[in-house]
Amino acid sequence: MRKFTDEHEWLDCTGEVATVGITTHAAEQLGDLVFIELPKVGAKLTKGEAAAVVESVKAASDVYAPVSGEVIAINEAAVTDPSSVGTDPQGAGWLYRIRLDDPASLDGLMDEAAYAEFAK
């Protein structure tokens, strides 16, 4: 199921692996993206730390790790063509996949309805 954070990231979870990206709302706020920096495969992330960077023409924005875990895959297409993230931020524009240290850590995150309310 899909969960959301108050830093405008989304996670799609299957078992202990989550796919992470930025929300459509975040992508719209950022505008045209020109550079994306992703964590390295194998990197150990701690919840709340800066995991990736997305840059628009005007500014760099940190993307935070919504949960703790190990990065098992990254979306190379996002790196070679940052605009692809803006086109479909909640689908083909995913950023990285993480194996959760603790599946229960998803419980505190928002569902789609709660995020829609939050992002207003």
Instruction: Give the interface with other proteins as residue ranges (CB under 8 A).
Output: 31-32, 34-35, 37, 53, 55-60
Look at the alpha carbons of 69, 74, 78, 79 in this order and tell me if their dihedral is positive or negative.
Answer: positive
Shortest CB 101 distance to other proteins, Å: 25
Q: Which is nearer to other proteins, 12 or 37 (CB)?
A: 37
What are the residues whose beta carbons fall under 8 Å from the beta carbon of 12, sequence distance 6 or more? 1, 2, 18, 19, 94
Cβ neighbours of residue 14 closer than 8 Å, sequence gap 6 or more: none
CB of 83 to other proteins, least distance (A): 8
Residue (49 or 111) nearer to other proteins, CB = 49
Residue 6 or 62: which CB sits closer to other proteins?
62
Closest distance between other proteins and the C-beta of residue 27, in Å? 11
- Which is closer to other proteins, CB of 58 or CB of 107? 58
CA dihedral sign, ordered 91, 96, 84, 32:
positive
Contacts of 32 (CB under 8 A, 6+ apart): 56, 57, 83, 86
Q: How far is the CB of 110 from other proteins (least distance, A)?
A: 25
